[in-house]
Amino acid sequence: MVGLDGWKRTNMLGEIKKGLGGREVIVMGFVRETRDIGKLRFIILGDITGNAQVLLKGKEEIARFGDFTKESVIAVKGTVKENLEVVSGAEIVPSDIRLITKAETPLPIQVYGRTDALLDTRLDWRFLDIRKPKNALVFKIETTIEMAMREYWIKNGFLEIHSPKLMGAPSETGADLFPVVHFDRTAYLAQSPQFYKQMAMCAGLDRVFEIGPVFRAEPSNTTRHGTEYTSIDMEMSWIESHEDVMEFEERWLVHVMKRVKETHGEEIRKMYGVDVIVPKLPIPRISFNEAKNISNKAIGKTGADDDLTDEGERVVGETINRKDGSEFVFVKEYPWSKKPFYHMRKEDDPSVTKGYDLIFNGVEITTGSQREHRYEVLIHQAKEKGLSLESVKFYTDFFKYGVPPHGGFGFGLTRLIKQMLHMENIREATFAFRDMKRLFP
Ligand code: AMO
């Protein structure tokens, strides 16, 4: 069969419920399981909305329709019959079944029921792994998250931009870069839309956002870093300081968490065993020094004095949650030595930036700051960080012809999902993950 030979789907499988009794339907999906009990055969058919049971009665009918291997794709024409013994309250009695594509056996990983496969094997067969409702839920949540983000931004006068991913110069610190052959010279994959969201401020667009891919040649294998991930970025003009950016972010986040809770809260509790908690505002704010003290007290001195380790972030998250009952905490005013050249420094203490991180359940999900918009100061800071002025000239030129004070943040989409669902690994929150070793599927 090439197409569906004229059959049109009338219902999704999740709709086959009590109340639909007597209705003629055509449904389509994956054969999750076939069970024979006496003279009856039950086919559990699944799609993105759920499962429905198809009932074959008697040897003749079973022989007429034949066997279907697990995960084969079939179309079923039939009548809905109410049956209180089925969880959904109804099943389908078929008049015709068409095999659309047959699945090979055995399946490389189990789709229906428990899977014991290791994460790496699951990722090798990610398209089968995502057929599991618990894993598919991630993408329903992701869709809601992005919609809610856009909803809030657009209501607040933001414009959406699409910045280039092929760059003539590094877009962040210059480390962890992917060079690509670009005709007769080298280009770099964008590590962040940073320079371009600031270009939008210099172009007078006032407030912008972007949701798009970024690339980092992270040489490490961790549960929170990919070599490609979806970055959520925003930039706003006419701010007084980084406090304005944090205030915007927390209100935006409340809107997003509310939408996720109202749309998927129940399913998340059922499948992941966690409650989505909409943060109470204001989200607690602590200084980098306070965070470092908390970390030092709990786990001793780890890492450099001017940085918070992953373990340090975890401890800070836990401590604030215990003390203030908040899963989120802003850590602000990071040392200048740890932050990029475009962060603005505090007037009264230039060793500290007007930058911040947001930690969610012990993992950083955001970096934001007020940017240095004064041309001379920016040049001075780039020099101080040892950057080649030539390579960032295209960017520093943005600041020569009038620019509003501005700031913004970058936010890891998959980190948010991982932390929200209490997942162990960011790979589970990503459609098709990329790391040092993985370029397939
Ligand atoms: P930063 O480099 O901190 O800041 O990145 C912003 C956020 O992106 C997420 N993130 C990652 N997620 C998955 N894999 C990775 N390798 C990875 N690296 C970072 C984190 C992080 O908080 N231009 C600045 C942002 C800004 O100031 O506007 C930047 O990119 O959630």
For the chain, what are the domain ranges?
A: 3-101, 127-429
Closest ligand 1 atom to residue 415 Cα is: 31
Backbone angles phi, psi at 432, to 5 degrees: -140, 105
Closest ligand 1 atom to residue 226 Cα is: 14
| Separation between Cα atoms, residue 85 and residue 285, nearest integer Å | 53
**Beta strand extents in 272-354 (DSSP E only):** 285-287, 328-332
User: Residues with beta carbon inside 6 Å of ligand 1?
Assistant: 172, 192, 194, 216, 218, 225-226, 229, 231, 233, 364-369, 408-412, 415
Q: Does domain 127-429 sit in CATH 3.40.50.300?
A: no
- 3-class secondary-structure state, position 299: helix
Cα Rg of the chain, angstroms = 26
Nearest to 344 by CA among 353, 336, 335: 353
The distance of Cα 90 from the centroid of its chain, to the nearest Å, equals: 35
| Separation between Cα atoms, residue 217 and residue 188, nearest integer Å | 11
| Separation between Cα atoms, residue 184 and residue 225, nearest integer Å | 32
Which is the CATH superfamily of the domain at 3-101?
Nucleic acid-binding proteins (2.40.50.140)
Report how far ligand 1's centroid is from the alpha carbon of 125 (Å): 28
- Sequential pLDDT tens for the chain (441 residues): 678 889 999 999 999 999 999 999 999 999 999 999 999 999 999 999 999 999 999 999 999 998 999 999 999 999 999 999 999 999 999 999 999 999 999 999 999 998 899 999 999 999 999 999 999 999 999 999 999 999 999 999 999 999 999 999 887 767 899 999 999 999 999 999 999 999 999 999 999 999 999 999 988 899 999 999 999 999 999 999 999 999 999 999 999 999 999 999 999 999 999 999 999 999 999 999 999 999 999 999 988 888 899 999 999 999 999 999 999 999 999 999 999 999 999 999 999 999 999 999 999 999 999 999 999 999 999 999 999 999 899 999 999 999 999 999 999 999 999 999 999 999 999 999 999 999 999
Report how far ligand 1's centroid is from the alpha carbon of 102 (Å): 43
| Separation between Cα atoms, residue 329 and residue 264, nearest integer Å | 24
Q: Are 79 and 18 in contact (CB under 8 A)?
A: no
Q: Look up the pTM and report it.
A: 0.97
Q: How many helices (H) and strands (E) does the chain have?
A: 11, 16
On the question of a common fold for 3-101 and 127-429, the answer reads no
Q: In what order do the strands lie in the sheet with 159-160?
A: 159-160, 207-215, 228-237, 406-412, 363-370, 355-360, 328-332, 285-287
Q: How far is CA 344 from CA 197, 236, 308, 382, in A?
A: 16, 15, 20, 12
Hey, which of 220, 221, 313, 367 would you mutate to test ligand 1's pocket, going by the most ligand atoms within 8 Å of its Cβ?
Answer: 367
Give, using CA atoms, the residue closest to atom 2 of ligand 1. Answer: 367
Q: Are 363 and 224 in contact (CB under 8 A)?
A: yes
